[in-house]
Amino acid sequence: MKTKLLVTLLACLASTAAMAADSPSVGSAAPDLSLTDSKGKTHTLAQYKGKYVVLEWFNPECPFVKKHYGGGNMQKLQEEFTGKGVVWLTINSSAPGLEGHLTAEQSEKKIGEWKTKQTALLLDEDGKAGQAYGAKNTPQMFVINPEGKIVYEGAIDSKATPNAADIPNSTNYVKAALDESMGGKAVSNASTKPYGCSVKYKKA
């Protein structure tokens, strides 16, 4: 019987490995990405090794994204953590012609209008980075530690609504994850269900 159990256990491990290809899970190494930002500069994840990195999936037309930018919630978070040395990369995976797509020029304009505070706004028109991370929502958040491991993935906060009025009464999971992880603690809510609009990928 023990042999049978051992086989079952091995099968479990094997299936874990197979699943990892779908979307990286908490604790696994963050897939590298190489994207151009709104200023034409290329960013890779490798260059930020040794620092905390936040990835934020973005679509300026999505009501759930607007919920967090409208009242300055997202900007405040970006300002707080970039101030603490965190690299904050906002990624727009909307394909040309679809909701939320922005050219480099339009992105710069949006940054100015919305007074966003991220390290860089990256353009992912072909959706490769979004697919590598299995990002399906805007907003959808990832927190990567200095060793390049994902320590949080999921929603921005605990209230899945498009109402900005709900922000004060919700728990911000990204802030909690960064505070805990940077304080040397394990992230207590490391994986949550993201909520928002679907990422507007190009048709396959």
Partner 1 sequence: MVSNGMNAGRPARSAFFAAVLFLGLLCTGRAQTYEGRELVQASLLADVSAVVPGKPFTVGVLLRMVPHWHTYWKFPGDAGIPSEMNWKLPAGWKVGEIQWPIPLRLAEPGGIQIYGYHDEVLLMQEITPPASLTESTVQLGGEASWLVCEKICIPGSANLKLDLPVAAQNAPANEEIFSRYRRSLPQPWPDSKVANASWKRTSSELQLTVESAALANYPATEFYPLPGENVVAGHPKTERSADGKITFRVPIETQDRNVSALNGILVFGQSENSPERNAWSLTGAAPVATVSAPAPVLSGSIAKFLLFGFLGGFILNLMPCVLPVISLKIFGFIQHAGQDRRRILQSGLAFIAGIFAWFIGLALLLIVLKSAGREITWAFQFTNPYFVLAMSAVVLVFALNLFGVFEISLPQFANRSLLGWTAREGDAGAFFQGVFATVLATPCTAPFLGPALGFAFTQSGWMIFVMFLAIAAGMSSPYLLLSAQPAWMRVLPRPGAWMVRVKQLMGFLLMATLLFLLWVLGAERGVEAIIWASCFLLALSVACWMKGAFVGPTASFTSRLVAIALMLLLVLGSGYYFIGQKFRATKLVSASPATPAEGDWIPFTPERLASELKQGRAVFVDFTAAWCLTCKFNEATVLESSAVREAFQRRGIVKIKADWTNADPAITKILKQFGRPGVPMYVLYPGNNAEPILFPELLTQNLVLEKLETVSPQIAAE
Contact 54/143 with Cβ under 8 angstroms?
Answer: yes
Q: Which of 89, 154, 156, 177: binder of partner 1 (CB under 8 A)? A: 154
CB neighbourhood size of 5 (10 A): 9
Q: How far is the CB of 85 from partner 1 (least distance, A)?
A: 27
Of 31, 63, 80, 132, the residue at the interface with partner 1 (CB under 8 A) is 63
- The answer to whether 203 contacts partner 1 (rule: CB under 8 A) is yes
150 contacts partner 1 (rule: CB under 8 A): no
131 binds partner 1 (CB under 8 A): yes
What are the residue ranges of helices labelled H in 42-133?
Answer: 63-70, 73-82, 104-114, 128-133
Of 90, 92, 119, 192, the one binding partner 1 by CB under 8 A: 192
Q: How far apart are CA 16 and CA 113, in angstroms?
A: 44
- With contacts defined by CB under 8 A, name the span among 42-50, 76-84, 125-133, 174-182 that binds partner 1: 125-133
Residue selected from 30, 67, 92, 177 as contacting partner 1 according to rule CB under 8 A: 67
What the block records as the tokens of 80 is 């707080």
Q: Is 172 strand, coil or helix?
A: strand
Query: What CA–CA distance (Å, rounded) separates 81 from 152?
Result: 15
Q: Does 202 bind partner 1 (CB under 8 A)?
A: yes
Tokens of 149: 């491991």
User: What secondary structure letter does DSSP report for 50?
Assistant: T
The H or E element spanning position 125 is none
By beta-carbon proximity to partner 1, the closer residue of 48 and 191 is 191
Q: Note the residues at the interface with partner 1 (CB under 8 A).
A: 1-2, 4-5, 9, 11-13, 15-16, 19, 22-23, 25-26, 61-64, 66-67, 69-71, 93, 95, 98-100, 113-114, 127, 130-131, 134, 136-137, 153-154, 160-165, 189-193, 195-204
